[in-house]
A and B are shown apart, each in its own frame.
Chain A
Amino acid sequence: MENYRERIKRRMALLSAWILLTAGLGIYNVFCTADETGVPEIFGFQCGLACGLSLCALLLLLRYGRALKDERGLQKLYNQEHDKRMKAVRAKAGVPMVPILSFIMMGVGMVMGYTNSVIFYTLTAAAMGQLLVSSAAKLVYLRRM
């Protein structure tokens, strides 16, 4: 369990770094850049995505912080992550490959969007669709299993 505690602490450090980086970039964007930054819709999407991920990181950070406070909470978190049933549900929902592929598609879409915005919209919509289907499958299998 001590190894797991260390792993959680490392994860918390990474999540904190991500939140600080996003906040720093946000502040830099507000005070130090010109109003016109690239393609407005892509820039807006990037900002929204970064804020959303930071919010998720913050929630995870709170969850990890609470789990680290007592041994029972840490054990529950460990069991949740290593539970065979949850692993089976995640595998049926395509986790982790579907989210990884979706993020790659969104990344490529954001880069290619600077030359052709249709590619950006298409790849982003496809990635969102994949994530939605994966989430729905996860919910269905959580109820069935």
Chain B
Amino acid sequence: MRTKIKELRKERKLSQEDLALAVGTTRQTITSIETGKYIASLPLAYKISHYFGMAIEDVFDLSEYLDEGGV
């Protein structure tokens, strides 16, 4: 899944570790989400989006999943 986490982090000059600590996860998980290897759980996606003050769909690109489900 594509996300805008990396861009948002760079804009705010945040390290992966700072973001991980703020949203209650590990740096490795943030790396995995950024590279698309791991899909964040709904609570984690909410926490990350809330941290950046945005909606989930603005941070996480859900289009491929919405197309698959025929929505």
Say which residue of A72, A84, A86, A145 sits within 8 Å of B21 (CB atoms): A72
B56 at the interface (CB under 8 A from A): no
The answer to whether A80 touches B26, judged by C-beta atoms less than 8 angstroms apart, is: yes
- Chain B proximity of A76: nearest CB distance (Å): 7
Say which residue of A72, A76, A80, A85 sits within 8 Å of B32 (CB atoms): A85
Q: In the complex, what distance in Å separates the CA atom of A72 from the CA atom of B29? A: 17
The answer to whether A79 touches B38, judged by C-beta atoms less than 8 angstroms apart, is: no
List the B residue with the shortest CB-CB distance to A82.
Answer: B24
Determine the main DSSP class of A at the interface with B.
Answer: helix
Say which residue of A72, A86, A144 sits within 8 Å of B26 (CB atoms): A86
Collect the chain B residues with CB atoms within 8 Å of residue A79's CB: 20-21, 24-26
The answer to whether B37 touches A84, judged by C-beta atoms less than 8 angstroms apart, is: no
- Chain A proximity of B37: nearest CB distance (Å): 6
The answer to whether B37 touches A145, judged by C-beta atoms less than 8 angstroms apart, is: yes
Q: In the complex, what distance in Å separates the CA atom of A118 from the CA atom of B25? A: 46
The answer to whether B21 touches A85, judged by C-beta atoms less than 8 angstroms apart, is: no
User: A-side interface residues toward B, CB under 8 Å?
Assistant: 72, 75-76, 79-80, 82-86, 142, 144-145
